[in-house]
Amino acid sequence: MEKIKVASLFCGCGGMDLGLLGGFSYLGKEYKGNPFEIVFSIDNDSYCTQIYNANFQHKCIVSDVREINISDLPEFDMLIGGFPCQSFSISAQNPPRLGFKDERGMLFFEMVKILRERQPRFFIAENVKGLLSANNGKAFPMIINEFKSAGYHVIYKLLNSSDYGVPQKRERVIIIGFKNEDDLLKYHFPIHVKLTDRKVLGDVISNEANRDENLFFSDRAVAGMLAVREKMNKGRAMNLDEPCNTISSHLAKVSLNSTDPVYMVGNRYRRFSAREAARIQSFPDEFKIDMVSQGRQYKAIGNAVPPVLMWHIVKPFQNILKISTVDFDKVKTEHPEHIVCNCNNNDKLQVNKNVLVSYVKNDAIQLLLDGSINIYYTGKRFPSTVELNHLYYFMPYKKGKGIRDLYYIKVARVGSKHEVHPEADPNDLRLVFEIEFVKQLFDDYKLIELPIWHTFKDTTLKEICDMDK
């Protein structure tokens, strides 16, 4: 299965990204790798990105999303990000418009701007529960409409991390957009894990942290809290047999007089260690965080999306990404001579004709570049969703470059590499396109983002030509 390429905005220390990729172990459970590849990630916090870059093969850049040159972004199929939400306002217009109170509110629109321009196949946005009630409930519908107006079918749901094997009661709004309605119909939000797979605070508390005096509150702080605890509901010591309350980014400065969760050892109160906070957030112990100060660790971890929650969110994408392949034997039986035999009687481009855009391996690309190739074999896993009897043109896609040259499909049939490579198995059937060079369609390679690459829906020559305008 070909990997879905992902661009990650506001990536922080990488909670969403780790859950998306999978391939990690947490509290004795293996979270298998997913068919995703991070090709771009960005955050404006240099300390968070230090943590990110110590844990991921793909390196995050430190920058403001408003400085992104959208046309310079690599190819990607999915955009993800937890956009800042503190600054939305409703403008006094008729009809009302979504606005912003300060610069942070503008960042949501940057995400929408990228979606409008690049039109990836999917997006996933994450935010706090309060987004649903912001501006007396007026902001959220407008946010959803902004995503829809960018060209997406949008669904959303409030998920509690504790329902998915995370030892924390952390509620987050998950918004998912699908460019294609077929994809939307195949997706479902994850179901809750079994009660036996739920995790509680006691699963992640460290005995080593119990010996760290720096984590304990002074006797004076405890006495002050006890004096007002009954009427102020302070000193919220957590129960080891339940998931922890939501942790925040300011655990380094947690106070007994706040609503932040704390832990009680005997009759003494302490804050959680940075590693415990990471475990509460479902980061595996192998996730490195000690390259920045403890205060910076708390901030990065507290702002993150729990990786295990994200893993469950993307797991149903497996149903979408499964692509049935062509049954070559069946096609050969139905079309013993050829699938299509096109007659190109004039030099005028047939702009409404279908084009197959396909990757070509490096060992064959040079033959296509110099126009000397006249036959193209598909791979063994050619998708069954391509309308073979509609194909008319072929354009090779060069990895990292895009498309440039246009070929005419004279004949499409079932054959094998044995025809020109005697060492190949004659029974290893493939689709064979007998092709003829037409012209160099673009002056230089054109990086394109077409559904055909991953959903394998056919496109037309007009769609490709319009990209150059």
Q: 85, 341, 343, 465: which one is catalytic?
A: 85
Sign of the Cα torsion 124, 125, 131, 137 reads negative
Q: Taking the mean position of all CA atoms in its chain, how far away is CA 71?
A: 19
The H or E element containing residue 174 is strand 171-178
Given 3-state DSSP classes, what are the helix, strand and coil percentages for the chain, each rounded to the nearest 5? Answer: 30, 25, 40
**CA distance linking residue 204 with residue 261, whole number of Å:** 14
Q: Which residues contact 69 (CB under 8 A, 6 or more apart)?
A: none
- How many residues does the structure list for the chain? 469
**CA distance linking residue 2 with residue 300, whole number of Å:** 32
**CA distance linking residue 289 with residue 278, whole number of Å:** 9
Bond into 84 cis (ω within 30): no
CB 43 within 8 A of CB 62: yes
Burial environment of residue 195 by CB neighbours within 10 A (0 to 12, 13 to 18, 19 or more): exposed
The H or E element containing residue 177 is strand 171-178
Q: Indicate the angle between helix axes 106-118 and 139-149, nearest 10 degrees.
A: 20
CB 105 within 8 A of CB 87: yes
Among residues 203, 213, 262, 211, the alpha carbon closest in space to that of 236 is found at: 262
Count, in order, helices (H) and strands (E) of the chain.
Answer: 13, 22
Residue 13 annotated in active site: no
Active site residues: 85
